[in-house]
Structure 1
Amino acid sequence: MRDLDIRIHAKRFASRLVLHELGFGADDGEFLALVGPSGTGKSTLLHLIGGLDDDFEGSIHWGGAPLHRPGEAPERLGMMFQEPRLMPWLNALDNVRLVQAGSTDGEGRAMALLHEVGLGDAIDAWPAQLSGGMLRRVALARAFVVAPRLLLMDEPFVSLDMPTGNRLRDLLLDLWQRDRPLVLFVTHDLREALTLADRVLFLSSPPARVVLDYHVPLPRPRRLEGSEIAALQERLFERHPDLLSGMLEVR
């Protein structure tokens, strides 16, 4: 069994079947990207793994045991969403510290991470005083402040301009390569997936399942706008022209 083992037999919203016989495994330290058509259930899957929704048929195991236990939060789980979700009444430092519990050096680690993401001069700033890119950097620091073993990221860099997005992707990879959590990263951008991930999981249209588990053959570092990523994307579409429509059938 892999470190993380996902077996979702069925996830429904009312009578609508959203996920069906969706399964995959991953090992500690891997970086996986999840891509697929809009509305296919990528965010729903992250919510199940993160324990935000427990209404499903199936199992989610970490290290051979259920990831979630009744009344207990998963140990060292980090999350980052499409929106930064900062508390407007807390400054940058306190927003990062918000997820810490019982840490003996919580403030020191939070301050170090804010410096690492380039916000050493904005520790006392309120969210309303920060740009969109700076808000995402606070959220990124908050995701890593718990030293996560499992990090769930739901389109965290969506809607950012290319230079800002590239800086944040570089920061993410720097932090990931240092701490080596297992990352599950949802994106609609195949180039972003191929740039960041060790493996890309392609989901079908609903009811969603994994139709292709693709191991990215390129060494790091990779550039999203680089020719190698463009060529790799082109080869994927030549081989699987319906890849992102969710209609791919594995042969």
Structure 2
Amino acid sequence: MQPVGAAAPLRVDIAEKTFRSSEGVSMTALKDLAFEVRRDEFACLVGPSGCGKTTTLRILLGLDTDFTGSFQLPRNESSRIAAVFQEPILLPWRTVEQNVRLALPKDMRDTDLTPLFDSLGLSQMRSLYPSELSLGLARRVAVARAFAIEPAMLFLDEPFVSLDEQTAERLRYLVLAVWSARPTTALMVTHNVREALMLSDRIILLSARPAHVQGYFDIRIPRESRSPQVMSDLARSFRQKFPGIMRGELGQP
């Protein structure tokens, strides 16, 4: 990873990522995977199940260093990186507020979190413990923890998966509201095209394994203008641009 200037985007250039099975069989997950996410842009990484989306995120988070290639992360004054995973990963013996504050660096320990908790509907739950929360509320706490540190780069790995659609939709709008209030460069992994059309400025479509970029779908319509009819039009345009993507293959667009 090479440091970049404050206005620089996320740049990814992974030449190859290969796994070796316990039987010694080699499997290439990523091959010539290159893309860019502009500063303060919300991008979604979309592709078929098992194509390497989460593997890509693990590399960018520094959790997997066994690959060839390089990447550059955007920076702000702090260059902090935040992530929201499929599981909230909260400490059960800490309250909601304590779980969020644990992520804060020393110079932010006294930060007033009230506006953030208010925006995520967590104001009345600051003193509750994870065991007292539904999965949807626990996911909100994980989102609060990520935004609290004011990151230069935010990664999200299918943060709405396994939620019922009503709860997932509510959380999508909450995430969008928080991100819109404090924009940061964001890359979210999802298999759900409709979700990506709702949230993102750009969809990066990956191929089947070994994953490489199959194409881009840029959305310049403001999010507040993405009515059901507009969403339907966007989905139609997406299917026209990528006719090989069957309806339902990546989630219903």
Q: TM-score, normalised by structure 1?
A: 0.86
State how far apart, in whole Å, the 2-side matches of 1:89 and 1:222 are: 42
Q: Is the 8 A contact 1:5 1:62 kept in 2?
A: yes
Residue of structure 2 equivalent to 1:4: 10
Please state whether the residue corresponding to 1:109 is helix, strand or coil.
coil
Matched, 1:120 2:123: yes
Please state whether the residue corresponding to 1:100 is helix, strand or coil.
coil
Say if 1:223 and 1:87 are closer, same or farther in 2 by CA, change over 3 A.
farther
How far 1:122 sits from its partner (Å)?
0.8
Q: Is the 8 A contact 1:6 1:59 kept in 2?
A: yes
State how far apart, in whole Å, the 1-side matches of 2:155 and 2:123 are: 25
Residue of structure 1 equivalent to 2:67: 56
Residue of structure 1 equivalent to 2:31: 20
Q: Is the 8 A contact 2:120 2:178 kept in 1?
A: no
Q: How does 1:66-77 map to 2 (within 5 A)?
A: 75-77=79-81
Residue of structure 2 equivalent to 1:211: 214
Instruction: In structure 1, give the amino acid aligned to 2:31.
Output: H
Alignment RMSD: 2.1
- Matched residue count: 234
Residue of structure 1 equivalent to 2:201: 198
How far 1:239 sits from its partner (Å)?
3.8
Please, which moves more after superposition, 168-177 or 16-25? 168-177
State how far apart, in whole Å, the 2-side matches of 1:222 and 1:125 are: 36
Q: Is the 8 A contact 1:92 1:125 kept in 2?
A: yes
State how far apart, in whole Å, the 2-side matches of 1:49 and 1:195 are: 24
Matched, 1:101 2:112: no
Q: Is the 8 A contact 1:35 1:244 kept in 2?
A: no
Please state whether the residue corresponding to 1:114 is helix, strand or coil.
helix
Residue of structure 2 equivalent to 1:249: none
Please, which moves more after superposition, 230-239 or 176-185? 230-239
Deviation per residue, 1:98-135 (Å, 9 max, x gap): 2122134x254344422331111111101010111111
Residue of structure 1 equivalent to 2:167: 164
Q: Which residue, out of 21, 33, 50, partners 1:39?
A: 50
Instruction: In structure 2, give the amino acid aligned to 1:58.
Output: G
How far 1:214 sits from its partner (Å)?
1.1
Residue of structure 2 equivalent to 1:248: none
Instruction: In structure 2, give the amino acid aligned to 1:124.
Output: S
Please state whether the residue corresponding to 1:99 is helix, strand or coil.
coil
Residue of structure 2 equivalent to 1:237: 239
- Once superposed, which parts of structure 1, at least 4 consecutive aligned residues long, lie more than 3 Å away? 107-112
State how far apart, in whole Å, the 2-side matches of 1:234 and 1:7 are: 30
Instruction: In structure 2, give the amino acid aligned to 1:22.
Output: L
In the alignment, structure 1 segments of 5+ residues that lack a partner are 66-73, 246-251
How far 1:238 sits from its partner (Å)?
3.4
Q: Is the 8 A contact 2:119 2:177 kept in 1?
A: no
How far 1:176 sits from its partner (Å)?
1.2
How far 1:183 sits from its partner (Å)?
0.5
State how far apart, in whole Å, the 2-side matches of 1:129 and 1:122 are: 9
Please, which moves more after superposition, 78-87 or 95-104? 95-104
In the alignment, structure 2 segments of 5+ residues that lack a partner are 21-25, 248-253
State how far apart, in whole Å, the 1-side matches of 2:80 and 2:233 are: 37
